[in-house]
Amino acid sequence: MDQKVNVSIQHVSKSFKNHEVLKNISLDVFVGEIFGLLGPSGSGKTTLVKQLTGLDSPTSGECYLFQHKMPNLKLIRRIGYMAQSDALYEDLTAMENLQFFSSLYGLKKSQKQRIEEVSKIVNLSEDLRKLVSNYSGGMKRRLSLAIALLHDPDILILDEPTVGIDPVLRKSIWKSFYELKKRGKTLIVTTHVMDEAEKCDRLGLIREGRLIAVGAPEELKKETGTKTIEDAFLKYGGVEA
């Protein structure tokens, strides 16, 4: 794997009033890596990825993307962000949503072709004429993912991308993640699903705002003498598996 650092989180802490949600997190993610942030609900995963996108700023510490300090408006086009809640226009069709976002990204000539490509990846090609308000939760997730992919970003930050998506489609979406990786893209994926965590090149385990371990799934299991990521997580968290 290319060991060039693409994302660097340096001593990041974040507090909301008196509540310290992220506690001195430092972490590097490499070019072409699928990096998973794994942690229970409320552990701080979303807050951490928001600091990366530049949508929020840390109370202390810094985030660097492509060696540039965030926030940096110039980098927006190189980042694809899929938030946990879908930011879609419900009264428009999926096609109109995709057209709207491609105009925002300034895709002109390539727009039609790119919409076709991303729709295929998320398996929505047959449903583009439907109103988003008639979409199921999983379809909305898939449309959000397609939008995050539209401008072919170098770094993809995906907050729980496969929630509400059935296992068959989840598998095909992961296949497309591997294809993106092959093309040199860097993916940061938050999850609390263990089998999904196993699919990542490396994982950062987050518990109560602290990064308690970083490593490849196999390494983490080996180091803790456990058979599952879930048990490794518990061991690192000080709980006997």
Nearer to ligand ATP, 42 or 137 (CB): 42
Residue 58 touches ligand ATP, criterion: CB under 6 A:
no
Note whether 69 and 222 are within 8 A (CB).
Answer: no
Please report how close the Cβ of residue 48 comes to ligand ATP at its closest, in angstroms.
Answer: 7
Q: Which of 128, 127, 120, 114 is nearest to 80 (CA)?
A: 114
Which of the stretches 4-12, 36-44, 194-202, 231-239 binds ligand ATP when contact is defined by CB under 6 A?
36-44
Per rule CB under 6 A, is residue 192 in the interface with ligand ATP?
A: yes
* End-to-end CA gap in the chain: 32
For tokens 């591997």, the residue is 178
Which one of residues 8, 47, 53, 144 is an interface residue with ligand ATP (CB under 6 A)?
A: 47
Give the Cβ contact number of residue 20 at 10 Å: 16
Q: Does 41 bind ligand ATP (CB under 6 A)?
A: yes
Asked whether position 16 contacts ligand ATP by CB under 6 A, the answer is yes
> Does 163 sit near ligand ATP (CB under 6 A)?
no
Q: Which amino acid, one-letter code, is at 20?
A: E
**21 binding ligand ATP? (CB under 6 A):** yes
Least Å distance, CB 75 to ligand ATP, is: 22
23 binds ligand ATP per the rule CB under 6 A: no
In sequence order, the 6+-apart residues with CB closer than 8 A to the CB of 143 are 86, 88, 94, 97, 98, 122, 124, 132, 135
Q: Candidates 44-52, 72-80, 117-125, 179-187 — which segment interacts with ligand ATP by CB under 6 A?
A: 44-52
3-state helix vs strand vs coil in the chain, percent to 5: 40, 25, 35
Number of residues interacting with ligand ATP: please give it, by CB under 6 A.
Answer: 13
List Cβ<8 Å contacts ≥24 apart for 210-214: 210/23, 210/24, 210/25, 211/25, 211/26, 211/27, 212/236, 212/237, 214/27
Site for ligand ATP in 196-225 (CB under 6 A): none
| Tally of CB atoms within 10 A around 18 | 5
Binds ligand ATP (CB under 6 A): choice among 46, 102, 119, 162: 46
**Residues 67-86 close enough to bind ligand ATP by CB under 6 A:** 84
Applying CB under 6 A, the residues found at the interface with ligand ATP are 16, 19, 21, 39, 41-47, 84, 192
